[in-house]
């Protein structure tokens, strides 16, 4: 790239990184760990024969390397019948270059990293994958089986260049983590609710360059969370990104979502609750492109898909939506802006700037606000009491709504009744934007 472009890019990156409260990722490189000690699962009884249970050899390899070293699952196809909890490792890495096929039927987490410090999970080739074969459950109406990957109560870690496919339940959960980074991942699940892509709770977490195909959460932040930066996300036929669902004592602050491309999803961004208490504040949603989605900007504090929780509502304040472009599936039925706040706790300081989206069907957009205060569209200025939903209609095509499409947008959903192929890593996760860290090859 030219120098001028370089400086523009550097200038654009610097302020948002400040969103994080410190450095993220492992404290020592995987090369250093590998040099110290390498625990190859093949030396602990694993076989790349797609039938021997990888569980016990993987746990044995972890025990040998958990105080410093790299556990290696070399390329090849492995069966996993029993799940592994990696408890309390320090200065260790998990190098997944092979493909793990689920053969067990337990619920829980296939790979569960807990209380780790200075941890890295990665594929050196970008081809390491977990194939959950969730369709075997889903076609029978079952979706409470295993999650593929869970990192919990861990700090100073990264997960990258891994592919996760067809989880029986969720694909990737980071729960109560600090100083974490997840990037360069392709996640592809069944076309059904409840099969979340990435769910995050924690402090100081950077999630970037991730593609999700499914029918529920793309990359979602849950409570409690603070200092979260999410960027370059490709929701390639998904439920869409969200904050929530929010319950009692919600505590979410300092979250930035930027460069989010959403195609054929339920929404581009949803903040969802129904009752509850606490707050979500100091949040920025910037550079969003959407096409063919049902909802776009969707704040719904009377979310009907959730039963009402006790409390006057979660207070949403200081939320900025800036530079949203593209088209919505049906602007008259579900317009680009829906801000429905809690009546007993109106939203304050909601700012919507440079949002320009048009409809793919018909020639009309509606904008709906209830109990929301701030600037932009139908929001009321200042602060004040609850107010009933107001709807405004736009019939003039907004200027500058045009936005790029990704050429690889998924044309037909994978459904839930047959095996979902393992994808390759996409070259980019947001139009015109290379991944922040080079993809492993």
Ligand X SMILES: *[C@@H]1O[C@H](CO)[C@@H](O)[C@H](O)[C@H]1NC(C)=O
Give catalytic residues, as residue numbers: 216, 291
Q: Which residue is nearest to ligand X (CB)?
A: 426
Residue of 40, 176, 408, 439 interacting with ligand X (CB under 6 A): 408
Query: Do 244 and 217 form a contact (C-beta atoms < 8 A)?
Result: no
Contact between 413 and ligand X by CB under 6 A: the answer reads no
What is the smallest separation between the CB atom of 285 and ligand X, expressed in angstroms?
11
Q: For residues 196, 202, 208 and 211, what is the CA-based torsion angle, rounded to 10 degrees?
A: 0
What is the smallest separation between the CB atom of 60 and ligand X, expressed in angstroms?
26
Nearest-angstrom CA–CA distance, 414 and 29 = 37
Nearest-angstrom CA–CA distance, 267 and 414 = 19
**Among 221-229, 362-370, 382-390, 405-413, the segment contacting ligand X (CB under 6 A):** 405-413
Contact between 254 and ligand X by CB under 6 A: the answer reads yes
What is the smallest separation between the CB atom of 56 and ligand X, expressed in angstroms?
29
**Among 244-252, 300-308, 323-331, 406-414, the segment contacting ligand X (CB under 6 A):** 406-414
Query: Do 175 and 151 form a contact (C-beta atoms < 8 A)?
Result: yes
Contact between 213 and ligand X by CB under 6 A: the answer reads yes
Extract the tokens encoding 63. 């025990």
Q: Which of 331, 266, 336, 337 is nearest to 305 (CA)?
A: 266
Q: How far is CA 199 from the centre of its chain?
A: 6
The sign of the dihedral angle between the CA atoms of 324, 327, 331, 334 is negative
Site for ligand X in 70-129 (CB under 6 A): 117
Query: Do 339 and 302 form a contact (C-beta atoms < 8 A)?
Result: no
Contact between 348 and ligand X by CB under 6 A: the answer reads no
Residue of 184, 318, 345, 365 interacting with ligand X (CB under 6 A): 318
Residue of 109, 158, 203, 236 interacting with ligand X (CB under 6 A): 236
**Each residue of 395-411: b (16+ CB within 10 Å) or e?**
eeeeeebebeebeeebe
Residue of 44, 234, 279, 295 interacting with ligand X (CB under 6 A): 234
Contact between 238 and ligand X by CB under 6 A: the answer reads no
Q: Which of 75, 67, 73 is nearest to 36 (CA)?
A: 67
What is the smallest separation between the CB atom of 441 and ligand X, expressed in angstroms?
15
Identify the bridge partners of residue 188 per DSSP, sorted by sequence position: 165, 213
Residue of 12, 23, 383, 418 interacting with ligand X (CB under 6 A): 23
Alpha-carbon distances, residue 67 vs 117, 325, 411 (angstroms): 10, 49, 46
What is the smallest separation between the CB atom of 59 and ligand X, expressed in angstroms?
23
Q: Considering beta carbons, is residue 53 or 408 the nearer one to ligand X?
A: 408
* Residues contributing to the site for ligand X (CB under 6 A): 22-23, 27, 117, 155-156, 179, 211, 213, 234, 236, 254, 282, 284, 318, 406, 408, 410, 423, 426
């Amino acid at each position: 790239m030219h120098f001028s472009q370089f400086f523009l890019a550097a200038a654009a990156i610097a302020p948002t990184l400040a969103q994080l409260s410190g450095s993220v990722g492992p404290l020592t490189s995987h090369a250093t760990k590998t040099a110290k000690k390498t625990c190859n699962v093949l030396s602990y009884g694993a076989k790349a024969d797609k039938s021997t249970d990888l569980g016990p050899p993987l746990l044995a390899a972890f025990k040998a390397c958990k105080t410093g070293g790299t556990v290696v699952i070399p390329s090849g196809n492995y069966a996993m019948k029993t799940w592994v909890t990696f408890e309390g490792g320090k200065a260790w890495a998990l190098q997944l270059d092979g493909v793990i096929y689920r053969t067990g039927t337990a619920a829980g987490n296939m790979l569960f990293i807990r209380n780790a410090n200075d941890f890295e999970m990665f594929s050196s080739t970008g081809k390491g994958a977990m194939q959950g074969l969730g369709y075997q459950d889903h076609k029978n109406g079952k979706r409470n089986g295993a999650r593929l990957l869970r990192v919990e109560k861990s700090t100073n870690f990264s997960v990258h260049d891994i592919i996760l496919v067809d989880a029986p339940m969720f694909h990737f959960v980071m729960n109560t983590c600090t100083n974490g980074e997840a990037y360069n991942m392709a996640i592809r699940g069944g076309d059904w609710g409840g099969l979340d892509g990435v769910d995050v709770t924690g402090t100081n977490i950077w999630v970037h360059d991730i593609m999700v195909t499914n029918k529920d959460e793309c990359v979602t932040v849950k409570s409690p969370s603070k200092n979260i930066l999410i960027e370059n996300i490709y929701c390639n036929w998904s439920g869409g990104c969200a904050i929530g669902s929010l319950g009692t004592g919600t505590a979410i602050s300092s979250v930035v979502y930027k460069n989010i491309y959403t195609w054929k999803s339920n929404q581009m961004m949803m903040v969802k609750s129904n009752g509850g208490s606490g707050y979500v504040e100091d949040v920025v949603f910037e550079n969003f492109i959407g096409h063919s989605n049902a909802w776009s900007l969707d704040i719904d504090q009377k979310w009907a898909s959730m039963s009402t929780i006790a409390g006057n509502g979660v207070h949403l304040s200081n939320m900025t939506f800036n530079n949203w472009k593209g088209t919505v599936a049906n602007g008259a039925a579900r317009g680009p802006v829906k801000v429905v706040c809690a009546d007993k706790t109106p939203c304050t300081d909601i700012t919507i700037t440079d949002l320009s989206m048009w409809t793919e069907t018909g020639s009309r957009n509606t904008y709906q606000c209830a109990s929301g205060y701030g600037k932009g569209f139908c929001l009321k200025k200042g602060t004040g009491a609850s107010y009933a939903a107001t709807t405004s209609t736009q019939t003039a095509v907004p200027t500058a709504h045009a936005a790029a499409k990704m050429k690889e947008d998924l044309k037909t959903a994978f459904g839930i009744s047959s095996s979902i192929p393992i994808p390759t890593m996409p070259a980019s996760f947001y139009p015109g934007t290379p991944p922040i860290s080079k993809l492993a090859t």
